[in-house]
Structure 1
Amino acid sequence: MTIGSAARRAHLEVQQTVLARSGVRRVVVWLDDSPPPGLTADELVSVPPGPHGLRLAAARNAGADRALEAGASLIVFLDADCVPSSDLLDRYAAAADAELDAVLCGPVTYLPPGVDALDEQELRRHRAPHAARPDPADHSLLRAPPSDYPLFWSLSFALSAERWRSGPRFDEAYEGYGGEDTDFAFHLRERDVPLVWVGRADAYHQHHSTSSSPVQHLDDILRNGRLFAERWGEWPMTGWLREFERQGLVSRDGDGWRLGASTASGARPGG
């Protein structure tokens, strides 16, 4: 199951070409107002934006539900800019057989510019999983301790149909950028659902331009962060919030955050 948008159309085409080689049934969830002509998938679901932007949580729920309707026993979630290794589907499937009740996460490599993401050997040469998360040996599984749950990223994960039916789902109150991943992970931890790191279920994140701090998503981060804090008693995305504070964009407000005085009128340096 893939979430795509106009901004990632080219990345999506590469990913779908790679997935087509496996013969796996593909569900694409389109986040903009209407899917573009020529977009091919076995199942195409449209989840248009809400009042506050793209509805990522709703899109993941809708895509997983459609996969179940199509008879899936295992649901693999990939963001549009992520290309699976040739081992990813097999490693997730084997992990689901061993850990039926778990949510499964594979390593993610962020590719540099210029890598041919259609070339498996090229991908393997650039394999460098993000150091923030465990990278178990091939064919091995590692259950996450409670402290690891904030490291859950929805750009590549998998779970059985039974696990999805049992919940939790992504909270659709989150719109725009940020917060819904960690909220989902905290619900998993609250319910004692195992989070398992899967060796060599590799995904490769295709390069695209990003800012060092996502100033363009500042309003979303504050809104979604406040929603998260009201539920869990702590703020997510604190690294970005501290960077925004350093830039004079936000300031502390008791235990939370608010727009800084320099941005109260709506102007944002660099945004």
Structure 2
Amino acid sequence: MGIGRNLSERKGRELRELREETNTTTNKSRKNRRHRLRKMSPGQRLFQTCNEVFASTGPGIVPSPQHIEMLLSVLGEIKQEDLDLRPDMPYFSTKTPRRTPKITYLHIYKCEQFSMGIFCLPPSGVIPLHNHPGMTVFSKLLFGTMHIKSYDWAVDFSPHMSPMVKPSEIASQTSDIRLAKVKVDAEFNGPCDPSILYPADGGNMHWFTAVTACAVLDVLGPPYSDPDGRHCTYYQNFPFSNYSVDGISIPEEERKTYEWLQEMDEPENLQVVGKMYEGPKIVEN
């Protein structure tokens, strides 16, 4: 019995030492990583962090909470000057005020795991209501005032209640209308904290309306891919009172937080011009 106790104590001591050694190695690794990132430009730091965060994710797979915090922290530190952006650049002005202004997308980087880019919106520029299928999306309003409205599909109904109707009274519309819940409907002033939306939560469907010239830094994981079935789908919205469904009853005071969304073709007046990002260079390792 004495031998057994001594052996148990020795094994326990060895296990504690191993844990301490592992914790020390992990802490050193984290410190070294933070030190390497601090020496990089903000854009390069974002690229390296995205490489790490999205390395083991995929469609519908959300990064770990630790990775999410890591990426939000890096995004939170980025400023417009870090990316060589100014509100007086041509991207943010319009020559024909009566027309819907065109939007410029500055492509920074794209691979199978993630994409990085900047949307440049002149005043009154609109990115219509659209979705992000299977994606985790990080965004930061770098400057400007923007109205953002976002939705998630309504899921707070019992299984026999199908939140789907067909607008038979509108003959030209044949696709289903689906009930969605408004998550955000407000104006934001940049720079502000980065936001995150998830594949099925957090406002996966949203639209942007520029009150003033705006720049939005976007990170998608994974990016859109038509061959893989990740299409960008556009929607039009209708008040909850427009339609009714048997079995769905929402209290009067909550009805403003629900709307019907219907798929639509890409709006004809939407003009998005793609250009390569010309700011500080991103180096792929």
Q: Please state which structure has a larger fraction of its residues in strand.
A: 2
Is the radius of gyration larger for structure 1 or structure 2?
A: 2
Structure 1 or 2: more helix by fraction: 1
TM-score bracket, shorter-length normalisation: under 0.3
Q: TM-score, normalised by structure 1?
A: 0.28
Q: Could you say which structure has the greater relative contact order, defined with CA pairs below 8 angstroms and 6 or more residues apart?
A: 2
